[in-house]
Structure 1
Amino acid sequence: MKKIELVQQMANLPHEIIIEILTRLPAKSLLKFRCVCKSWRTLTYDPTFTKMHFARTLGSHDVSILATTVNHFYKEFEMIEVDDEENEILSGLGFRKYSKTHIYCVDGSSGFEVQFKIKDPFVESYYYEDLEIVGSCNGIVCLVKSNDVCLLNPYTREYKIVNFEHQFNFNLEHTYGLGYDPTSSDDFKLVHFDCSPESISQVSVYSLNDASCVNVSNVPYQILELKESGVVFLNGALHWIARRTSEGCEILISFNIEEKIIREFSRPVGVNEFAFMSVGLLGGELCLLCKTYDTDIDIWVLKNYSLSDSWVKLFTIGETVMISVKNSWPTSVGYNEPNPRPLCFCKNGEVLLRDSDRIVVYDPKDKTSRDLKVHFISHCSRMAIMIHFASLVPLNSGTYVETVVGVEEEEPDMNPALECFLGHPSRRYCFHWGLGDFVSLLNLYKLTLPHESAQSSIKVHVVLSQVSV
């Protein structure tokens, strides 16, 4: 009875009060409230409501971490041969390597537990086509795999495959960034830097609303790898760490989405010109992580965005705290280990950083660090990490990615020593293996023997290694 009375009281509240209440709730709660009544469902799809809700999400600093993990597995396929009369002959069975990617959402407001796990929106593919997160902006994530682009809202699970009219050749060695242009019909823009060997980059801007492309200009910058240096969308511009054509020192640049203008930021005072840097966002302010070999790590924040030299040192991290720094040494293009990268502030003042293949929580007060233990994604060498803020922004595609419920049983991986044999069943190889591998090979060899009518044959020579019993 009390629940019915409460619902009636809520129904009598002014519409403005209901909006004030609902826009302060987490996105995951609002998704459940869509089942309460039609008016609330309609309200949560309203563009004005979703913008107000996202603005308050940013203000509350309720951050999520998106992480992708890649697992490789093998699938059996039939090997067909064609004889002289063009008749197809089943010659045996083979195995092909595939990759399976999952996207994890880790909720920062619940002790950094995995909130949900969703499947890769793209179809499973060969192992060299790994999924990449190239940007997160206004609650939407941009994913790239091979020549395909996908927009995804991880919380609503809605996704949209973007098909470009012209030939769109994505190369994951190139640099991308996802931005938002409110002046162009609320359009998301994908910025692409295509760098030549001479460190001259062709800048292209892709509209994800109408799948069009505009080539902007050539700029004398080479953007560094995003996994190490990071990318930040702030104040209508994308920010990267780059190098000039004329010199090898690292600098911070930005690209304004609306004006299509490059801006170069001054280096913080006292930072060595040979320092290696990564960019992040801490407390809504642009930040730099600067590191020179055999020194500690300095974290700087830009206090006045309009003044590119208004850098203030936030704190210093001892080099012994970060594993990737402690065990690294400089090379001609950086350190042999990936640079640490700032991710976000926690509500208690601690800082999250990406350190090699770990997520590290650093306490500036105690000057201590600890690994963030996240089930399924900790210590994964094929892991991409990006900070994300939840939203209800619709993509109006009507397509939704599947959620993985519970622990999904992964496809068993095969002994790597067998991969070359399975990939080329008609070639001749000599292997040095142990007894267990030899038995596995014999079992697989039986599966891949050609049909009697096949023209070719498989020749395998195995040399057994010494086995301790």
Structure 2
Amino acid sequence: MSNIPEDLVMNVLSRLRVKSLLRFRSVSKSWRTLIDSPTFIKMHMERSMKIGSTVEVIHRRNLKKFYSLHLDLSGNPVRDPEELPHPFGYRYDLEDSVVFEIHLVGSCNGVLCFVDSARRIVLWNLATRKYFEIQYLRIETPKFANFYYLVNYGFGYDCVTDDYKVIRLITTYNGISECYLVEVYSLKSDSWTRFEDLVGNTYRDNHGILVSGALHWIRDDNESPIVAFDLTEEEFNVVPCPDLSGRHCWKNLGIVRGCLCFFCDYPMLHAELWVMKDHGIKESWTKVFTESKSPIHYMRPIDHSKSKITVVSEVNNKKLAWCNFEQKSITNNAPIRYINTICAVRSLEACANYDSLVGTSWKRHDGIARSSTKKSCKEF
């Protein structure tokens, strides 16, 4: 095998599933080095996303159980939902252990990001079953913030620096004053950076949406409700929102075919879904549908089928559904097909997952956090 050109070996191996590649790492030291190399991992990931045969959706059933649902690219379930091993490991396997609520806050390149109610963060590759526990950083709030604080998370990949980053947006209150802090964890440097920045009040449980190298959140600002954190520059920018038919509506973000989408519900009136086809350009917002007296009050598109006509979405925080956006109507032409997720709870957290080799060398990590502080990158 030593006479086979490495380019040919890479080309062949990059077409295989992760399960097979993990076995082939034992063939030889050269193969292990090749399969673990950043170049090969990127090549395999790009190919998996292009030719993948299924869409894998991870969703939460209750406080601490997660399931994997495989859908074919026409939108049909391949098999029943499968319960996943716990992302935080053995500590949650004990029946008499303290129950920590766990949230799925994002996914990128086959890596899932989980946060529990103790503020512990784990990056988990479902394909390799490897996980990385991010070093804990205690949330430090100003002395005046003696009432409470809210934390919003985001997770994404910076293609310029080849780095995975976790973002924490912290909003503190004391009934009169507010303070906004931003903390960024870099997997490459294994350290946190704290920014003293004004980002505006974000909504509770509003996890960042990764589009075009930036994480997006909704904040309490009717004029400029969308903010984006550029993962490379590590600065915030305001993203122009579409021309809405009214100011007072429930808003949330999602992703459709790689584009940022904006859903707004005007209670008792109608719902709208917009897609930004050219990121950052206000004029590129396109209205996908408007529905009067819509039965859907919340929609977050997650991933699309092979035809790109149907999109799997969270609906009303309780269900997953395939939505056909080309029909321009939710109720009249019945473009929504609900997916059996065995998930009968008051809320739903879901994201797409892909066959990926990212983190093949991860090991259990515990430690004392290192951090540095920077001044505001950009003020609004």
TM-score, length of structure 2 as denominator length: 0.77
Alignment partner, residue 117 of structure 1: 84
Say if 1:225 and 1:340 are closer, same or farther in 2 by CA, change over 3 A: farther
Q: Following the alignment from structure 1 to structure 2, what is the Cα–Cα distance between the partners of residues 383 and 192?
A: 21
Equivalent residue letter for 2:202: I
Say if 1:276 and 1:167 are closer, same or farther in 2 by CA, change over 3 A: closer
Alignment partner, residue 47 of structure 1: 38
Q: Deviations over 1:93-139 (max 9, x none)?
A: xxxxxxxx233222233743336622232412423x21122221222
Q: Following the alignment from structure 1 to structure 2, what is the Cα–Cα distance between the partners of residues 398 and 70?
A: 27
- The equivalent position to 1:264 in structure 2, one of 218, 238, 248, is 238
> Aligned pair 1:106/2:69, yes or no?
yes
> Aligned pair 1:369/2:336, yes or no?
yes
Q: Following the alignment from structure 1 to structure 2, what is the Cα–Cα distance between the partners of residues 345 and 147?
A: 31
> Aligned pair 1:314/2:288, yes or no?
yes
Residues 217 and 226, structure 2, Cα contact 8 Å, conserved in 1: yes
- The equivalent position to 2:300 in structure 1, one of 341, 344, 359, is 341
Q: Following the alignment from structure 1 to structure 2, what is the Cα–Cα distance between the partners of residues 286 and 192?
A: 21
Say if 1:172 and 1:152 are closer, same or farther in 2 by CA, change over 3 A: farther
> Aligned pair 1:380/2:328, yes or no?
no
Alignment of 1:143-158 (within 5 A): 143-145=114-116, 146-158=118-130
Tell me by how many angstroms 1:35 deviates.
6.5
Residues 270 and 291, structure 2, Cα contact 8 Å, conserved in 1: yes
Alignment of 1:216-295 (within 5 A): 216-226=195-205, 229-244=206-221, 251-295=225-269
Structure 1 residues not aligned, in runs of 5+: 1-7, 72-100, 326-338, 401-469
Q: Following the alignment from structure 2 to structure 1, what is the Cα–Cα distance between the partners of residues 241 and 286?
A: 11
- The equivalent position to 1:394 in structure 2, one of 353, 359, 363, is 359
Aligned-residue Cα RMSD (Å) equals 3.2
- The equivalent position to 1:68 in structure 2, one of 53, 60, 74, is 60
Tell me by how many angstroms 1:47 deviates.
1.3
Structure 2 residues not aligned, in runs of 5+: 142-147, 328-332, 366-380
Alignment of 1:172-187 (within 5 A): 173-184=150-161, 186-187=162-163
Residues 230 and 278, structure 1, Cα contact 8 Å, conserved in 2: no
Alignment partner, residue 75 of structure 1: none
Residues 188 and 207, structure 1, Cα contact 8 Å, conserved in 2: yes
Q: Following the alignment from structure 1 to structure 2, what is the Cα–Cα distance between the partners of residues 136 and 257?
A: 15
Q: Deviations over 1:294-348 (max 9, x none)?
A: 33332211111142442012234564453xx3xxxxxxxxxxxxx2222222224
Alignment partner, residue 80 of structure 1: none
Q: Following the alignment from structure 1 to structure 2, what is the Cα–Cα distance between the partners of residues 196 and 40?
A: 50
Q: Following the alignment from structure 1 to structure 2, what is the Cα–Cα distance between the partners of residues 273 and 383?
A: 27
Q: 3-state DSSP class of the match of 1:58?
A: helix
Q: 3-state DSSP class of the match of 2:251?
A: strand
Residues 362 and 369, structure 1, Cα contact 8 Å, conserved in 2: yes
Residues 176 and 190, structure 1, Cα contact 8 Å, conserved in 2: yes
Q: Following the alignment from structure 2 to structure 1, what is the Cα–Cα distance between the partners of residues 313 and 33?
A: 39
Tell me by how many angstroms 1:172 deviates.
9.2
Q: 3-state DSSP class of the match of 1:313?
A: strand
Q: Following the alignment from structure 1 to structure 2, what is the Cα–Cα distance between the partners of residues 304 and 369?
A: 26
- The equivalent position to 1:213 in structure 2, one of 178, 186, 192, is 192
Say if 1:268 and 1:51 are closer, same or farther in 2 by CA, change over 3 A: same
Q: Following the alignment from structure 2 to structure 1, what is the Cα–Cα distance between the partners of residues 120 and 212?
A: 28
> Aligned pair 1:192/2:168, yes or no?
yes
Q: Deviations over 1:337-369 (max 9, x none)?
A: xx2222222224212221221112223334432
Alignment partner, residue 16 of structure 1: 7
Q: 3-state DSSP class of the match of 1:223?
A: coil
Residues 238 and 254, structure 1, Cα contact 8 Å, conserved in 2: yes
Q: 3-state DSSP class of the match of 2:248?
A: coil
Residues 106 and 207, structure 2, Cα contact 8 Å, conserved in 1: no
Residues 275 and 291, structure 1, Cα contact 8 Å, conserved in 2: yes
- The equivalent position to 2:318 in structure 1, one of 340, 343, 357, is 357
Equivalent residue letter for 2:359: P
Equivalent residue letter for 1:371: Y
Q: 3-state DSSP class of the match of 2:34?
A: helix
Q: Number of aligned residue pairs: give it.
A: 337
Residues 195 and 222, structure 1, Cα contact 8 Å, conserved in 2: yes
Q: Following the alignment from structure 1 to structure 2, what is the Cα–Cα distance between the partners of residues 37 and 48?
A: 18
Q: Deviations over 1:214-270 (max 9, x none)?
A: 2222215111133xx5521122211111113xxx56711100122122111222124
Q: Following the alignment from structure 2 to structure 1, what is the Cα–Cα distance between the partners of residues 25 and 203?
A: 43
